[in-house]
Structure 1
Amino acid sequence: MAVNSTPEHLLIEQFGTMRRITINNPRKKNAINQQAYRDLADQLTVADRDDGVTVLVLTGAGDFYSSGNDISALMVSDQPVEQRLESSHGALARMVKAFYSFSKLLVGVINGPAIGIAGTTAMLCDVLYMEETAYFYTPFTALGLCAEGCSSYTFPKLMGASKASEMLLLNHRMSAQEAFQFNVVAELFKREEFETKLWPRILRYGELPVGSIKATKELMKRFDLDKLEEANKRELEALAKRWQTEEAMQAVMNFMTRKSKM
């Protein structure tokens, strides 16, 4: 598999057997475009196959984990809409699968807001740590779209049906404190504690026997793989239909207009 060794919006670092991927597009609050989808999928796959990696950590540069899908990049493309959607959804499907197929320890360090696809894929990590002022926000219905990143399956399983509906249907913004209350994240940290407490702890995780981690993950079966596959497929089919509705196009244009005035 050909892999971009220097992804444009990803910073790849190795510390012993811990590899860290930092979403690094601060100008757009770490928004993820189609190429970043592909690069993330590649890097997850490479790390899973690399004997020198025991734990893979995902985080964001600066004050944001990620503002989610780079909608502006999709809207300005000169490709026909059908071609744009096919390319985008193919890259998205592959990236989401790379998350839930990862066999080693996958840790998410949510250093700031995690919005849309960034928030839904974070839930596929084995362990989440969160900065105490960060939040999860999945404004899919506000954009005229629908759930993605397997969230139609993972959110109810993680946080219960009512809270999942509030997140996915009513665009509720889940604070770090609420995420901890609902057992979505393992622990909250102040920003200044990342370097002194959190990263040294994660480095020690790299000393754990990788075979034991993989065996225990398989035994735990946190999410059913077949249900993840089904959710990913159904969501992408629904999303493709939503993107072609006037309702969604108007909602996205309204969003882009509001954003340009910020």
Structure 2
Amino acid sequence: MDNQSVVLSIENNVGIVTLNRPEVGNALDFQMAKELLDVAIACSENQEIRAVVITGAGNKFSVGGDLKSFASEGEEIGSHLKIVTAYLHQAISYFARMNKPLIGAINGIAAGAGMSLACACDLAYASDNSKFVMAYNKVGLTPDGSGSYFLPRIVGMKRALELMYTNRVLSGQEASEWGIVNDVVSEEQLMNVVIELAENLAKGPVNAFGATKKLFSHSLQETLESQMAIESNVITERSISQEGKEGISAFLEKREANFLPK
């Protein structure tokens, strides 16, 4: 894969996705959106990859959409944005639907689509110099990149609207307190902490992770009884899967489970 704007490397069953336009704060343009989709498909389909980390090159995660490139389209900006968001949204859908855990390493500012992407991660860790801001309403725009889906579910409707209406900037610590990220660590240790977590998860029951992710997502639109019926079906399926059999056997035999493919 010869992408330039989004780089994928694989180490110890972890796919490391790097947004790679540091000269413009990893601003998202047409090319980055297109390459992000390529990488998302690769992460979803490549059996060597069992966990995925996403971060930004340089000292920023992503400042959001590249407004300069969008404005250069003139009267065609509407059509251009439909194409860009088509790539971006399909990429996020692949990341969100894959069985593999997606972990954000938020190194610096996450604004606009950058913050939306951070919210779409299963787990997220921020550097101590990180900042989070939705930014859209400030320039008369509305959220994309799944921001209007994940943000209210994470922080609640009133706080989500506050972030949108007021353009309030959250520090990494505030983002942690609001549940947007799991923890805040030093800039120097961020990637070490995230990679270590990703490598541990890559050794785990990836298909069970995926099934759990789907259960949690579906729970928001189910009744108690319908959700429990789904839980019953899924745990039954998992119990007869290779992962389930290995996990139960390991527990009974008092040993560590080996979930890696044989």
TM-score range, shorter chain: 0.7 to 0.9
Does structure 2 conserve the Cα–Cα contact (< 8 Å) formed by 1:154 and 1:223? no
**Deviations 1:62-101 (CA, angstroms, capped at 9, x unpaired):** 1100111111112223783454244233333323333333
Q: Which amino acid aligns with 1:141?
A: N
2:250 — aligned with what? none
Matched, 1:27 2:34: no
**Are positions 1:44 and 2:40 aligned together?**
yes
Partner of residue 16 from structure 1, selected from 4, 8, 12: 12
Aligned-pair CA distance for 1:105: 0.7
- Given that residues 89 and 146 in structure 2 are in contact (C-alpha distance below 8 angstroms), is that contact kept between their aligned partners in structure 1? no
User: Alignment partner for residue 178 of structure 2, among 182, 191, 195?
Assistant: 182
Q: 1:34 to 1:64 in 2, by over 3 A?
A: same
Q: Residues 205, 76 of structure 1: CA spacing in aligned structure 2 closer, same or farther, 3 A cutoff?
A: same
The 8 Å contact of residues 92 and 145 in structure 2, kept in 1 or not, is answered as yes
CA distance in structure 2 between the aligned counterparts of 1:225 and 1:150, rounded to whole angstroms = 17
Q: 1:213 to 1:6 in 2, by over 3 A?
A: same
Distance 2:28 2:219 in 1: 25
Give the whole-Å Cα distance in 1 for the aligned partners of 2:175 and 2:152.
Answer: 13
Q: Distance in 2 between matches of 1:89 and 1:44?
A: 15
C-alpha deviation, 1:155, in angstroms: 1.6
Structure 1 contact 45–102 (Cα < 8 Å) conserved: no
Aligned to 2:69: 73
Q: How does 1:36-185 map to 2 (within 5 A)?
A: 36-77=32-73, 80-185=76-181
Q: Which protein shows a greater Rg?
A: 2
Contact 2:5 2:32 (C-alpha < 8 Å) held by counterparts: yes
Deviations 1:101-134 (A, max 9, x none): 3332111110111110111122111100111110
3-state SS of the aligned residue for 1:192? coil
Structure 2 length as normaliser, TM-score? 0.77
Query: Deviation above 3 Å: which 4+ runs of structure 1?
Result: 77-83, 195-198, 222-226
Query: How far apart, CA to CA, are the structure 2 residues paired with 1:108 and 1:60?
Result: 10
Structure 1 runs not aligned, ≥5 long: 227-262
**Alignment deviations for residues 208-257 of structure 1 (CA, whole Å, 9 cap, x no partner):** 1222222222232277599xxxxxxxxxxxxxxxxxxxxxxxxxxxxxxx
What secondary structure does 1:202 align onto? helix
CA distance in 2, matches of 1:70, 1:151: 17
Following superposition, the deviation at residue 195 of structure 1 comes to 5.0
Q: Indicate the RMSD between aligned Cα atoms, in angstroms.
A: 2.2
How many aligned residue pairs are there? 222
Per the TM alignment, residue 196 of structure 1 is displaced from its structure 2 partner at its CA by: 4.7
Counterpart CA distance in 2 for 1:150 and 1:10 is 19
Letter in 2 for 1:137: V
Deviation at residue 39 of structure 1 after TM alignment = 1.1
TM-score where L is the length of structure 1 = 0.77
Return the offset for 1:174.
Answer: 1.3
The one-letter code of the counterpart of 1:66 is: S
Q: Distance in 2 between matches of 1:153 and 1:91?
A: 17
Partner SS state of residue 96, structure 1: helix
Structure 2 spans left out of the alignment, 5+ residues:
223-262
69-78 or 46-55, larger mean C-alpha shift: 69-78
Cα drift, residue 56 of structure 1:
0.8
CA deviation after TM superposition for structure 1 residue 171, in Å:
0.7
Sequence identity (%): 24
Amino acid at match of 1:128: A
Q: Match for residue 256 of structure 2?
A: none
Higher RCO (C-alpha 8 Å, min separation 6): 1
